[in-house]
Structure 1
Amino acid sequence: MPQTGILVTQEPAPQSVQVSDLPHKVYEIERNTGPYTSSGLATAGFRSAKYLEEEWYQNNNSCYHQAFADRDYSECNRHEAKQLAAETATLCQRTQMDSTKKTGERLQDIHFWKSELQSEIKDLMAETDLLIGDKQRLERALEATEVPFSIARDNLQCRERRQHPDLVRDCVGMELLKEAELIRNIQELLKRTLMQAVNQIRLNREHKEICEFDWSDKVETYNIDEMCACYNNQSTCIQFHPHSCKCDDSATTPETWSKFSHDIIYRAEREKMASINLRVLINSILSDTAEDLRLQCDTVNLAFSKCCEELENAKQKLQHHLNRTLREISDQEKNIASLKQAIKDKETPLKVAQTRLYQRAKRSNVELCRDAVQFRLTSEVEELNMSIQALKDKLLESEQALRNLEDTRMILEKEISVKANSLLIDRQKCMAHRTRYPTILRLAGYQ
Structure 2
Amino acid sequence: MSFNQNMTCPDICPTSRTDRPPESKSEDNNNQDGVPTSACSPYKPGCIQPPEPKVYPPNAPPRYLPQPTDTTSGDFLGMGAIDPWAAGHLDWTPQSGITGVRPVVDKYSMTRYSTRDWRLNNESVLKGRSVNKAKLFETNTKKQLTETFEKMDKKINDSNNELDKRIKECEDWKAKVEKTLEAITDEINILDENRARLKGACRILMLPEAISRECLELRTQRYEPDLVRDDAEQELMREVAIVGEIRRVFMNTLAKVEEQMAMNRAAKATIETDWNDKVVCLKLDKENFNWTLDSNLILYHPAVVRWPENACTLEYWKHYCAESIRNCEEVRKKSEDLRGDLMTAIIKGSQDMKIQADRTNAAFGETIAATEGMCEHLEENLKNNLQTIADLETLIANLVATLSNMNDRNKLATSRLQARNYERANVENCRDNAQYALMAEAKYVKEASQEFSNKLREAETVRADLMIYRGILEKEIACKRKSLYIDKDRCSRIRAHMPTPEEFAAG
CA deviation after TM superposition for structure 1 residue 328, in Å: 0.4
CA distance in 2, matches of 1:431, 1:418: 18
The residue that corresponds to 1:37 in the other structure is none
| 1:373 paired to 2:434 | yes
CA contact (8 A) 2:64 2:122 kept: no
Q: TM-score, normalised by structure 2?
A: 0.76
Aligned residue among 269, 272, 293 for 2:329: 269
Return 5+ residue gaps in structure 1 as ranges. 1-8, 28-61
CA deviation after TM superposition for structure 1 residue 258, in Å: 1.5
Flag the 1:11–1:405 CA change in 2: closer, same or farther, 3 A: closer
Flag the 1:266–1:335 CA change in 2: closer, same or farther, 3 A: same
Aligned residue among 303, 319, 330 for 1:243: 303
| 1:24 paired to 2:121 | yes
| 1:282 paired to 2:377 | no
CA deviation after TM superposition for structure 1 residue 15, in Å: 12
Paired residue total? 401
| 1:325 paired to 2:385 | yes
CA distance in 1, matches of 2:434, 2:348: 102
The residue that corresponds to 1:415 in the other structure is 476
1:395 is paired with a residue whose SS is helix
The CA RMSD measured in Å over matched residues stands at 2.3
CA distance in 1, matches of 2:259, 2:65: 92
CA distance in 1, matches of 2:320, 2:466: 97
| 1:199 paired to 2:259 | yes
Flag the 1:250–1:15 CA change in 2: closer, same or farther, 3 A: closer
Return 5+ residue gaps in structure 2 as ranges. 1-61, 73-115
2:295 is paired with a residue whose SS is coil
CA distance in 2, matches of 1:336, 1:272: 93
CA contact (8 A) 1:10 1:26 kept: no
CA contact (8 A) 1:304 1:426 kept: yes
Structure number with greater Rg is: 1
CA distance in 2, matches of 1:248, 1:16: 43
Which amino acid is 1:244 matched to? Answer: V
Q: Note the alpha carbon deviations across 1:29-79, whole angstroms, 9 max, x for none.
A: xxxxxxxxxxxxxxxxxxxxxxxxxxxxxxxxx89x41xx22222222222
Aligned residue among 226, 234, 238 for 2:294: 234
Aligned residue among 153, 165, 189 for 2:249: 189
1:145 is paired with a residue whose SS is helix
CA distance in 2, matches of 1:317, 1:13: 143
CA contact (8 A) 1:318 1:415 kept: yes
CA deviation after TM superposition for structure 1 residue 87, in Å: 1.3
Between 264-273 and 364-373, the greater mean CA deviation after superposition: 364-373
1:400 is paired with a residue whose SS is helix
CA deviation after TM superposition for structure 1 residue 380, in Å: 1.3
Q: TM-score, normalised by structure 1?
A: 0.85
CA distance in 2, matches of 1:132, 1:142: 15
Aligned residue among 413, 418, 436 for 1:353: 413
More helix by share: 1
The residue that corresponds to 2:79 in the other structure is none
CA deviation after TM superposition for structure 1 residue 249, in Å: 2.8
Which amino acid is 2:453 matched to? Answer: K
CA contact (8 A) 2:215 2:491 kept: yes
CA contact (8 A) 2:167 2:285 kept: yes
| 1:222 paired to 2:282 | yes
| 1:396 paired to 2:493 | no
CA distance in 1, matches of 2:417, 2:396: 31
CA distance in 1, matches of 2:259, 2:332: 13
CA distance in 2, matches of 1:384, 1:248: 141
The residue that corresponds to 1:105 in the other structure is 165
CA contact (8 A) 1:339 1:395 kept: yes
1:24 is paired with a residue whose SS is helix
Which structure has more relative contact order (CA 8 Å, sep 6+)? It is: 1
The residue that corresponds to 1:53 in the other structure is none
CA deviation after TM superposition for structure 1 residue 439, in Å: 2.1
Flag the 1:87–1:364 CA change in 2: closer, same or farther, 3 A: same
1:245 is paired with a residue whose SS is coil
CA distance in 2, matches of 1:25, 1:396: 173
CA deviation after TM superposition for structure 1 residue 257, in Å: 1.4
Identity among equivalent positions (%) equals: 27
Q: Note the alpha carbon deviations across 1:138-197, whole angstroms, 9 max, x for none.
A: 011111111111110000000000002011100100000011111111011111111111
The residue that corresponds to 1:306 in the other structure is 366
